[in-house]
Amino acid sequence: MRKIKDVLRLKLDAGLSHEQIASALKISKGVVTKYVGLATAAGLDWSTIQSLDEAGLEKRLLSSFRRANNRVSPDYGRIHQELRRKGMTLMLLWEEYRAEHEDSHTYCYSKFCDGYRYFAGQLKRSMRQVHRAGEKLFIDFAGPTLALTGGGRAHIFVSALGASGYTFACATPRETMVDWIGSTIRALEFYGGVSQLIVPDNPKAMIADPDRYEPRSNDTVLDFASHYGTSVLPARPYSPQDKAKVESAVQVVERWIMVRLRYHHFTTVQEVDQAIIPLLEQLNHKPFQKLPGSRASAFASLDFPALQPLPATRYEIAHFKTAKVHIDYHIEVGGHHYSVPHALVGQALEARVTVCAIEILHRGQRVASHARSSQKGGFTTVTAHMPAAHRAHLEWTPQRLIHWGEGIGPATAETVTRLIEQNKHPEHGYRSCLGLRSLAKRFSQPRLEAACTLALQIGTCKYRHVRDILVNNRDQHQPPPANDWVSPEHVHVRGSDYYQ
């Protein structure tokens, strides 16, 4: 622009020829001719040009150029917003511009692009990035907090979508991982959809390894992202330009919402939340200064159609713990023991712990799920996780064992009943009863009935006594008459006749 003003000074004031001006300023004669012609078309003399600054002179010359060529100027504000749509290009927008004004003079593609770049250069630095619709959700906490009358502070969570700048804010008691994830869930529900990426800062509550090139979120954040079908990509450390959209949104929330609440007295965080809602509505419907529409209208036309749908269920905060499977095929979580398939004994498994449930994962695959129990030292066991022998033992009950004994004979049923009744807990007699069952398979049911009859006559019902009777074939001899025994409970007493 400085040389344009020099061209006009040398021509209109000094009266030099085009060739002399071109030689003095080291430019072509064609450039001299162009700007002298524009000044003449605009009706400018040197006294008028001298009073104009460079921007004013450029505006006068270009407006005369447009009038001379009768060209329709594109709506660069709308074009800037349209470029945020996924897959949109300047070439397509130029073709639509030509088609819309086919009866008028329009710009060629290069002039169209030059005009847009000039327009974009006049916008704020934060607007120069082109964010695709539905691609990124930026999240952060505002620096200032709001005081509560009880002595606490309300922290303000802020999120903004990249393309529209549509903003969400809410209050939390702290800035822990639960607050970060809980607020992000509320933001997604506020937008009614899920973006492809969620871009936080590098808070220790969420990012396990804030590496500049390969940052790693903690397990709970990864689980949250998997539930919503999105990814968490933290900004580079000390690089606020990576999340300029939310930096701007935080500043707007501080100035538009938090400052307006500075004289309010709040007792709880919930009261702060309720006070934010109407101010947030006003903020999102406030018209842009240099672009058409507002955050709300831009969200409705750009971001919302491109968002992924919300999952059917809301995410429940989960914590992860690594635990080794004990020999009894249980792992310990929070003092309680939960069963897993017995084939995993000795393996290190991952437990996903929520408020209500425990999910146990082996190499990322769920192998067991239990309702969470607060009973310290207790056991939660699924029958299908047990070995076949343990499962068979578990299936036997006192009633079933007695019913089995009755199916063989009265003596066997009586023996089983006594085995169960003699113990403080019925399960203590299960093994002996199962031992009798194995004897029935080994020696046949009639022989077991005979052996149980003989054992009862001599006053015993122990498994080893019945086994010895069968092994020694005593059940196959004629049993002695009952009066040969002094007492069924003291068979070792010989009686008074023995000593005559």
Tell me: do 323 and 347 sit in the same domain.
Answer: yes
Q: With both helix axes pointing from N to C terminus, report the angle between 109-121 and 90-100 in degrees, rounded to the nearest 10.
A: 110
> Residue 483 — pLDDT band, cuts 50, 70, 90?
very low
Q: Rounded distance, CA 188 to CA 193, Å?
A: 6
- Cβ contacts of residue 280 below 8 Å, gap of 6+? 167, 168, 169, 257
pLDDT per residue over 434-459, tens digit each?
Answer: 888 889 999 999 999 999 999 999 88
As for how many domains the chain has, the answer is 5
Tell me: do 35 and 88 sit in the same domain.
Answer: no
pLDDT at 86: 60
Whether residue 182 is contained in a domain is answered as yes
Does residue 369 sit in helix, strand or coil? strand
Rounded average pLDDT over 150-173: 90
Does residue 357 sit in helix, strand or coil? strand
Whether residue 22 is contained in a domain is answered as yes
pLDDT at 67: 52
Tell me: do 145 and 283 sit in the same domain.
Answer: yes
pLDDT per residue over 24-71, tens digit each?
Answer: 888 888 888 888 887 887 778 888 888 887 777 777 776 655 554 556
Domain ranges, residue 11: 2-69
> Residue 425 — pLDDT band, cuts 50, 70, 90?
low
Tell me: do 167 and 290 sit in the same domain.
Answer: yes
pLDDT per residue over 266-323, tens digit each?
Answer: 999 999 999 999 999 999 999 887 778 899 998 998 889 999 999 999 998 888 888 8
Whether residue 94 is contained in a domain is answered as yes
Among the candidates 385, 416, 443, a domain finishes at 385
Answer yes or no: is pLDDT of 167 > 50. yes
Per-residue 3-state assignment (H helix, E strand, C coil) for 305-344? HHCECCCCCCCCCCEEEEEECCCCCEEEECCEEEECCHHH
Tell me: do 300 and 165 sit in the same domain.
Answer: yes
347 CB burial (10 A radius; 0-12, 13-18, 19+): middle
> How is residue 256 written in tokens?
């538009």
Tell me: do 328 and 358 sit in the same domain.
Answer: yes
Whether residue 187 is contained in a domain is answered as yes
pLDDT per residue over 336-355, tens digit each?
Answer: 989 999 888 888 998 988 88
pLDDT per residue over 365-423, tens digit each?
Answer: 889 989 988 888 888 888 888 887 666 666 667 788 888 888 999 999 999 888 888 86
Tell me: do 38 and 108 sit in the same domain.
Answer: no
pLDDT at 487: 39
- DSSP letters spanning 46-57: HHHHHHS-HHHH
Whether residue 390 is contained in a domain is answered as no
Does residue 453 sit in helix, strand or coil? helix
Strand ranges of the sheet holding 231-232, from the earlier edge strand across to the other edge: 167-172, 153-161, 136-147, 197-199, 231-232
Percent of residues, the chain, with pLDDT higher than 90: 21
Tell me: do 299 and 166 sit in the same domain.
Answer: yes
pLDDT at 394: 62
Tell me: do 259 and 346 sit in the same domain.
Answer: no
pLDDT per residue over 168-205, tens digit each?
Answer: 999 999 988 889 899 999 999 999 999 998 888 777 76
pLDDT at 214: 52
pLDDT at 190: 95
pLDDT per residue over 352-377, tens digit each?
Answer: 888 888 999 888 888 998 998 888 88
Whether residue 314 is contained in a domain is answered as no
Among the candidates 282, 306, 330, a domain finishes at 306
Give the amino acid at 76: Y
Whether residue 409 is contained in a domain is answered as yes
Tell me: do 9 and 92 sit in the same domain.
Answer: no
Among the candidates 274, 306, 338, a domain finishes at 306
Rounded average pLDDT over 224-230: 90
Mean pLDDT of the chain: 81
Tell me: do 267 and 345 sit in the same domain.
Answer: no
CATH, residue 239: 3.30.420.10
Tell me: do 143 and 118 sit in the same domain.
Answer: no
Whether residue 414 is contained in a domain is answered as yes
Rounded average pLDDT over 151-162: 90
**Measured CA angle at 499 (ends 497, 500), to 5 deg:** 70
- Is residue 340 within 8 A of residue 329, CB to CB? The reply is yes
pLDDT at 212: 55
> Residue 228 — pLDDT band, cuts 50, 70, 90?
very high
